[in-house]
A and B are shown apart, each in its own frame.
Chain A
Amino acid sequence: MKKLIILFVFVAFGFTAEAQEKGSVLIQNATVISITDGDLEDTDVLIRDGVIQEIGKDLRAPRGVETVDATGKYLMPGIIDAHSHLNGVDINEGRNVVTAEVTMEESVDPNDVGIYHALAGGATTIHLMHGSANVIGGQGETLKLRYGVSQEGMKFEDAPRTIKFALGENPTRVHGQGNGVQPRTRMGVEQVIRGHFDEALDYKRKREAYLSAKEQYDRRGRGTPPVPVAENLRFEVLNDIIEGEILVHCHSYRSDEILMLMRVFNDYGVENYTFQHANEAFKVAPELAKNGAHTSVFSDWWAYKFEVYYSTAYNASILNANGVINSINSDNNQLLRTLNHEASKVVRYGNTTVNDALKMITLHPAIQLGIDDRVGSIEEGKDGDVVVWSGHPFSIYSKAEMTFVDGKKYFDLENDPDDMRIQINPGTDFEDGSNYREIVSSRDEDACMQDAFILFQN
Chain B
Amino acid sequence: MKKLNIFVFIAALLFGLTATAEAQITEKPEYGKFAITGATIHTVTNGTIEGGIILIDGEKIVQVGQNAKITPDYKQIDATGKHVYPGFIDSWTALGLVEVSAVAVTVDNRELGQFNPHMFAFTAFNPHSASVPVTRVSGVTTVLSHPSSGTIAGKAAVMDLWGYSPDSMAVKKSGALVMSLPSSGGGGWWDNRSEKEIKEQYERQIKAINDFIDKAHFYNQMMNAYEANSSGKTKPDFDPRMDAMREVLSGDVPIVISVNREKAILDAIEWIKSHENMNFVFEGVQEGWRVADEIAEAGIPVLTTTLYTPGRDYDNYKRPYENPGLMAEAGVKVAIVSNDTENSRNAPFEAGYAAAYGLGKEEAIKALTINPAEIFGVDHIIGSLEAGKQANLFISDGDPLEPMTNIEHVFIKGFKIPMTSRHTQLYDEFLNRDAVNE
Contacts and interface: CB of A to CB of B under 8 A. Distances in A.
Interface in B287-345: 305, 307-318, 339-343, 345
Interface residues of B, number: 64
A57 interface: no
Contacts of A430: 311-314
A309 B103 CA distance: 11
Interface string B354-378: 0110000000000000000000000
A169, A314, A435 interface centre (most CB from chain B within 10 Å) = A314
B186 A350 contact: no
B188 A435 contact: yes
Nearest to A418: B316
A233 interface: no
A312 interface: yes
Contact of A334 (B183, B185, B191, B309): B309
A398 B355 CA distance: 11
B427 interface: yes
A338, A349, A430 interface centre (most CB from chain B within 10 Å) = A430
A2 interface: no
B130 interface: yes
Interface string A330-353: 000110011001001101111000
Given A309-B100, A437-B311, A438-B286, A347 B185 contact: no
B102 A436 contact: no
A347 B397 CA distance: 14
B346 interface: yes
A305 interface: yes
Given A394-B404, A442-B94, A303 B260 contact: no
A444 interface: yes
Nearest to A298: B343
A421 interface: yes
B434 A286 contact: yes
A50 to B, nearest CB: 26
Interface stretch (B71-79, B213-221, B247-255, B418-426): B418-426
Interface in A300-315: 300-306, 309-314
Interface stretch (A112-120, A131-139, A256-264): A112-120
A3 interface: no
Given A305-B102, A394-B404, A436-B261, A337 B188 contact: no
A282 B428 CA distance: 11
Contact of B427 (A318, A434, A438, A444): A318
B102, B185, B187, B422 interface centre (most CB from chain A within 10 Å) = B102
Size range of the chain A interface in the assembly = 35 or more
Given A114-B309, A433-B186, A318 B316 contact: no
Nearest to B98: A442
Given A433-B183, A442-B340, A334 B102 contact: no
Contacts of A161: none
A396 B309 contact: no
Interface in A106-156: 113-114, 116-117, 120
Contacts of A421: 313-314
Nearest to B344: A442
Given A344-B403, A441-B339, A442-B340, A303 B315 contact: no
B373 to A, nearest CB: 22
A399 B353 CA distance: 10
A445 B313 contact: no
B346 A311 contact: no
A358 to B, nearest CB: 12
A442 B148 CA distance: 11
A399 B356 CA distance: 9
A227 interface: no
Contacts of A436: 260-261, 311-312
Contacts of B317: 116-117, 120, 337
B238 to A, nearest CB: 34
B164 interface: no
A396 B355 contact: yes
Contacts of A435: 188, 312-313
B423 to A, nearest CB: 4
A311 B425 CA distance: 10
Given A300-B343, A314-B426, A348 B403 contact: yes
Contacts of A216: none
A302 B342 CA distance: 7
A350 B427 contact: yes
B118 interface: no
Contact of A434 (B98, B188, B307, B355): B188
A439 interface: yes
A350 B431 CA distance: 9
B426 A306 contact: no
B316 A282 contact: no
B284 interface: yes
Contacts of A437: 308-311
B433 A301 contact: no
B191, B404, B422 interface centre (most CB from chain A within 10 Å) = B404
A433 B403 contact: no
A317 interface: yes
Given A337-B317, A442-B94, A306 B431 contact: no
Contact of A285 (B99, B423, B433): B433
A438 B340 CA distance: 14
A443 interface: yes
A440 B94 CA distance: 13
A432 interface: yes
A314 B349 contact: no
Nearest to B361: A397
Contacts of A301: 343
15 contacts: A169-B102, A285-B430, A302-B342, A304-B101, A310-B426, A314-B431, A338-B353, A347-B403, A354-B404, A396-B355, A396-B403, A430-B312, A432-B263, A436-B261, A442-B98
Given A303-B342, A428-B313, 7 more contacts: A314-B427, A348-B405, A434-B185, A438-B284, A439-B260, A444-B102, A445-B102
